[in-house]
Structure 1
Amino acid sequence: MKTVRSWAAYAMIVGGFAAGVATVVSMTHGFKADSAFAKGPSYSGKLVGNITTEEAATLHNLNDSLTHLAEYVKPAVVHIRAVTNRASDSDGKMIPISGSEGAGFIYRKDGYVITNDHVVGDADQVTVITNDGREHKGTVKRAPEWDVAVIKIDGSDFPTLGMADSKSVEPGQMVMAIGSPYGLENSVTFGHVSAVNRENAIPDSSLSQAERFYPDLIQTDAAINVGNSGGPLVNIDGQVIGMNSSIYTKTGGSNGIAFAIPSSEVRFVADILIQKGKVVRSQIGVYPRDLKPFELSEKKLPGGAYVEDIQPGGPADKAGIKKGDIITKVNNTAIDGQIDLRNTMLVNAPDTIVKVEFVHDGKTQTADIKLEKAVVVKPTTPKARTYNFDNKDFGDIFGNPDLKDFENKLRQQFGQGDKGGQNDQRDQDDNGDVQPLHSGHAKLGIGIDNLTDANRRKNSIPTSVTGVLVTTVESGSVAEKSGIQVGDVIQSIGGKKVSTIDELTSQMSNLNWGDKTQIGIARYGKGSQMTLERSITFK
């Protein structure tokens, strides 16, 4: 499954200083049109153009159906206000310094609300505003890696929304989204399922792993904007098929490309949070992906998780599972795809021994594997080699260096240019126009290193992977603006493969400020593998 490109254009859709509304309904209470509702009122209004009476009646029936669907869903959708405090310098009282707004839906009648983790985050105060206008203080339980949070509010007999089986969702199905875009509560939009099984990752500095990775998303063209985060995406039966979470945008608003976390995944994580209060994830040490349709046909398998790569020294590696194997069962749980495998890591605790069934070279085998606790590595800025792409000579920096020259070369290396003042001293052309600040060879603004056994282990990079490791990313650099992060592996520039520092340097030497290129990278972590392509303009 190809990961969505161009992270810089993706955004979580939490708004500023507001609250989200959540609605949950028992699965046995799905929205169904009765016979009278299905027929709709007889039409006797004025016809427009060549439209027939029957066609007009059909449109009115459709209009009424959508209206009734919205009326059915809205009571269970909530608005969420999350506030973060700090101590006042004067009297020590806590005062609000920031907030976010979003939506949510009520999952259980006894007051459990589901929303995105990025809506509530580390908030000190969370308020849930139900459809009747009442405000409820909430207690939050979080699963940051899955971007799911559960809020408990006091009360009973709340209206709820049913959760559909998201595995049955197909492109083309009609959907409705409800949320609080820009604080406008209970806003309703309609659209379709554009695609399923999308992959995406969004940088998020609030997390220790510095990003949120979404291995399986529903794509929709329903209008989703800031403030829709956590709100439900429902089908025509009024059941939740996904939780609206992010959008692709270059303007900050809806471009008709939005993403929702599938309801089956949301419900799975929410149930664990409600029962245990937190999610503890084990790891098996593989980088899985779904089998493609032709692979299922050729291998005559109903499903499975294809092992894209192996974590060196991990549980699967120790048990003899190889790259290219297909995991079909864990204990008694059939594995239809990568999400099923990931979910088994939630229900089986670290140090648990599980029986794994897998296909190797066309033959079914089993292995007893002891799971390990998943470790989320905090991003660091290691003291690693920082490379100057176009000038390796920094002078005699260990003897008697020219410190001013050395400082200028460091600035050039990271693509920052000389410090400027209020008066722009750049050269002007014959027309008096200011010339670009940068000239000459382009700079990414990164530190790099060749891949070694040590840094492969540290960054969970399989031995089969080739490329150049990113060890530092300078603040404000082209690389940072393009979403490149520490731990990424650069594998190509301009469509040409790079495996060593020298190859990377050679490709960069052909690029000047103002040029555009594509940079292919691989990213590893959290038992996941992502291959991405960045469109970069050096400016």
Structure 2
Amino acid sequence: MRLPGFQAPRSVLALTLGVTSALWITAPFRVAPGLIPEARAAQDTPPAIATGAHGVPDSFADLADRLLPAVVNVSTTQTLKASSDDEDGEEEQGPQIPDFPRGSPFEKFFHDFMNRQNAPNSPPRKMQALGSGFIVSADGYIVTNNHVIRHADKITVTLQDNTTLPAKLIGHDDRTDLALLKVAAPQPLPFVTFGDSDTARVGNWVLAIGNPFGLSGTVTAGIVSSRSRNIDQGPYDDFIQTDASINKGNSGGPLFDMHGAVIGVNTAIYSPSGGSVGIGFSIPSNEAKGIIEQLRKTGKVSRGWIGVRIQDVTQEIADGLNLKPARGALLAGVEPKGPAAKAQLATGDVIQQLNGKTIEGRALPRLIADLPVGSQAHLTVWRKGKTIDVPVTIGTLPETDTDSGSDEKPKKPGAPKQDKTLDLGALGFSAGAITEDTRKQYQLSDSQKGVVVTGVTDGGPASERGLKPGDVVTEVQQTAVNSPAELRKGIEAAQKEKRRSVLLLVHDSDGLRWVPFPLDGNAR
């Protein structure tokens, strides 16, 4: 899933990403003499700041000369069949009709042309796409993005000296958007190596090399703009943001540090216009290295998994739990037969450390995925005010997600036919007991327990937090509730404890999630 402004990888030219520029200060800051007499001595000898960073280079030419031969152009050909669907259920689409004035001769011409192209008996059409890649071994292994070669019938690699070679797909990984190709060359090929992306500091110089708009061997320079960016591409987002200019066709190309090591694989851009605006994203090399090595050995990727659904611990959630500081991964669900369930982890637990290292909630899936299957990890878990150590054996991530609630049917809005409902005016919703009528009304499963939401006030706290009629509250403050009276009792208990917020565990069409409500008023 890409942010608004990202270019879809289905376009004729493959997606690439962008980079920025930096303002570099080479002289230490000084206070004008006489402004602060007491500090005059200190002004004469300003403290040196040890950064370990490279100064502004006179030129990137020597570095570019060394790296260019290892960067390649990746071109693909895909056969489009009329009215066919791809494996994701998306209809294959070629060029669209330009927006000509209605009734103009041009509109009729293109309309007739496209109709002939899309006719059931028309010959298959071919779509070509361009991207970038880089050689990582002398025997011809090449790294690129998965979306560059996705669904390709034919892959061709063009070297810096214009040598063209057919490429074979060794393996690909949808979740990280990486792919590994192999070419057979008559002689050893120039190659580059992965560096340590953890050493890339914000402000460090970087080079991006690729084929924007098919212009092979284009070199751009910029800096690392930010680290650990989450752009909602998937559960393992940890992108390096850069302002080196990247455009369509740069996808799969390398991001180099000043030593010539690959610290990132350029993958996405934020661009309202479709061109580079200086905001590009690269997969860190420390994530890519392990993926590429697995693809080289087995052609596929195995990931660690413990079977939990998590949420970041926000300040509101921490206030509801009386947890300080607001940090960790709050468990909103546990897969019944997964490793976490076998380790007796439970909904409402907060994982704060993994193998002794403090974690943020959204980083947990990526960190677990990097652990070897079958190894044992130690989780530091906060549970109802106490901290415990929980050993868990890492399992293998299933091919398809098995989150609970994924097979739930959509719930229909509307008020159930029952008399007794609890009006929680301060929280902005009303709730009632689950009866045979409410099960039918909202298509709840026979095993569903809790208290069903029967109404939501427009603009109220519940509406702002996404609650809908038919959602089910299963816990309050980590205590199960099965009646409106128990729901009221749990909320009142939180108020008596002078909690700033109360936590409700809500089961909606997407599964379980914790929802914090501020307690700045009284529930009625």
- TM-score interval, smaller chain: 0.5 to 0.7
Q: 1:266 aligns with which of 258, 282, 288?
A: 288
Q: 1:126 aligns with which of 135, 155, 160?
A: 155
Per-residue deviation at 1:239? 1.1
Please report the TM-score for the alignment, with normalisation by the length of structure 1.
Answer: 0.55
Conservation of the 8 A alpha-carbon contact between 1:181 and 1:226:
yes
Cα distance in 1 for residues equivalent to 2:244 and 2:136? 22
Conservation of the 8 A alpha-carbon contact between 1:467 and 1:500:
yes
Secondary structure of the residue aligned to 1:360 is strand
Per-residue deviation at 1:342? 3.4
1:145 and 2:175 are equivalent in the alignment? yes
| Matching residue of 2:269 | 247
| Matching residue of 1:320 | 344
Equivalences for residues 27-426 of structure 1 within 5 A: 64-85=58-79, 97-140=126-169, 141-155=171-185, 156-202=187-233, 212=234, 214-287=236-309, 306-307=329-330, 309-313=332-336, 314-322=338-346, 323-329=349-355, 342=366, 345=369, 348-349=372-373, 352=374, 354-361=375-382, 363=387, 365-369=389-393, 371-376=395-400, 384-385=410-411
Q: 1:16 aligns with which of 1, 5, 12?
A: 12
Per-residue deviation at 1:384? 3.4
Q: For 1:321, give the aligned amino acid.
A: L
Q: 1:523 to 1:68 in 2, by over 3 A?
A: farther
Cα distance in 2 for residues equivalent to 1:246 and 1:530? 31
Secondary structure of the residue aligned to 2:142 is strand
Q: Deviations over 1:387-422 (max 9, x none)?
A: 69xx99xxxxxxxxxxxxxxxxxxxxxxxxxxxxxx
Cα distance in 2 for residues equivalent to 1:241 and 1:232? 8
Cα distance in 2 for residues equivalent to 1:86 and 1:319? 49
Cα distance in 2 for residues equivalent to 1:216 and 1:289? 17
Secondary structure of the residue aligned to 1:123 is coil
1:496 and 2:464 are equivalent in the alignment? yes
Q: Deviations over 1:476-520 (max 9, x none)?
A: xxxxxxxxxxxxxxx9999823322389xxxxxxxxxxxxxxxxx
Q: Deviations over 1:104-134 (max 9, x none)?
A: 1111111000000000012111001111111
Secondary structure of the residue aligned to 1:501 is coil
Q: 1:151 to 1:335 in 2, by over 3 A?
A: farther
Conservation of the 8 A alpha-carbon contact between 1:12 and 1:247:
no
- Give RMSD over aligned pairs: 4.9
Task: Name stretches of at least 5 consecutive residues in structure 2 with no aligned partner.
Answer: 17-54, 83-116, 417-440, 472-506, 516-524
Conservation of the 8 A alpha-carbon contact between 2:76 and 2:152:
yes
Q: For 2:377, give the aligned amino acid.
A: V
Conservation of the 8 A alpha-carbon contact between 1:17 and 1:98:
no
Q: For 1:329, give the aligned amino acid.
A: N
Cα distance in 2 for residues equivalent to 1:98 and 1:530? 45
Conservation of the 8 A alpha-carbon contact between 1:191 and 1:221:
yes
Q: 1:369 to 1:377 in 2, by over 3 A?
A: closer
Cα distance in 1 for residues equivalent to 2:513 and 2:188? 43
User: Greater Rg, structure 1 or structure 2?
Assistant: 2
Per-residue deviation at 1:247? 0.6
Q: For 1:145, give the aligned amino acid.
A: R
Q: Which moved more, 1:304-313 or 1:379-388?
A: 379-388
Task: Name stretches of at least 5 consecutive residues in structure 1 with no aligned partner.
Answer: 21-60, 203-211, 393-448, 457-462, 469-490, 504-521, 532-539
Per-residue deviation at 1:336? 6.9
Per-residue deviation at 1:345? 3.6
Please report the TM-score for the alignment, with normalisation by the length of structure 2.
Answer: 0.57
Cα distance in 2 for residues equivalent to 1:168 and 1:8? 30
Secondary structure of the residue aligned to 2:63 is helix
Per-residue deviation at 1:343? 5.7
Per-residue deviation at 1:222? 1.3
Structure 1 vs Structure 2: percent identity of aligned residues? 27
Conservation of the 8 A alpha-carbon contact between 2:343 and 2:390:
no
Cα distance in 2 for residues equivalent to 1:80 and 1:131? 12
Q: Deviations over 1:5-50 (max 9, x none)?
A: x822223568625799xxxxxxxxxxxxxxxxxxxxxxxxxxxxxx
Cα distance in 2 for residues equivalent to 1:16 and 1:64? 37
Per-residue deviation at 1:67? 1.5
Cα distance in 1 for residues equivalent to 2:358 and 2:238? 15
